[in-house]
Amino acid sequence: MVPSPLMSEMPQERDPQWPKPKMSTTAIIVMIIMTITAVMVTEFFLLAAYIVYKTDTTTGIADIGRAVAEIIAAITNNPPP
């Protein structure tokens, strides 16, 4: 009877990609911020388009812009322009 080789005795081929490369924390944070920014800009334009669609005028869009400027000013502690 021939003894079976143990797993530790078998030659192991290493994957050249092991360990798999990981994204740095900075890259992950930048991706999250960029995604949030893209979503917010898209929502702003969708809201503006909805206002124009419902009211057939662009007067409400300036109000949205001023509100966004006030929110940004409050977050960054800068006076609004």
Outline where 1-81 has alpha helix (H).
25-55, 59-76
CB 73 within 8 A of CB 62: no
Compute the C-alpha angle 66/56/51, nearest 5°.
40
Write the pLDDT tens digit of every residue in 2-15: 555 555 566 667 66
The overall pTM is greater than 0.75: no
Residues 6 or more apart in contact with residue 52 via CB below 8 angstroms: 58, 61
Token duo for residue 48: 């503006």
Write the pLDDT tens digit of every residue in 19-50: 766 788 899 999 999 999 999 889 988 988 88
Cα 24 from Cα 66, distance rounded (Å)? 37
